[in-house]
Amino acid sequence: MTPIKAIRESLGALLAADTAWLATVTANKISLVMAAFTPSEDLVFADLTLATFDGSTALSAGTGEQQVGNDPLTNEQLVTIKEPAGGWRWETSGVTNLPQTIYGFALSDNTLATLLATALLDTPITLTEAGQEINLGTVRFTVVLEPLA
């Protein structure tokens, strides 16, 4: 059975507003990952090795209902995680633990215990000196693909 479009599109909106997962009152966090990994829905937070360079502290997402919409080219439903002031940007503020290669990032709960989503960078980035940055831009994930015709 294929649901009607309105039902399919409600899934992302429900998730974006769900106070147990994404619309929390204590901000979810994005962390950089410094060891190679394969994104999977079976990963747990303990499977990841977080970045340890000076300035690598996890950043807090905006609280409350997250943003949701449909990609006009693919009709995929997207949930955009609200970014903090300054965006999803990390800068090496010293040389501790450099060089360090960043492979991707993870969305977790505020305590860095429950993994919610992961992504790989298009190309791993090796940080080698103070003043270098990683900027993720928009952080979002696909909730539902349009059913095949």
Residue extents of the structural domains in the chain: 5-144
Distance CA 86, CA 84 (A): 6
Distance CA 53, CA 69 (A): 35
The pLDDT tens digits along the chain (149 residues) read: 777 878 888 888 999 999 999 999 999 999 999 999 999 989 999 999 999 999 999 999 999 999 999 888 888 889 999 999 999 999 999 999 999 999 999 999 999 999 999 999 999 999 999 999 999 999 998 887 766 65
Tokens 């693919």 belong to residue: 74
Residues 6+ apart with CB under 8 A from 124: 36, 101, 102, 103
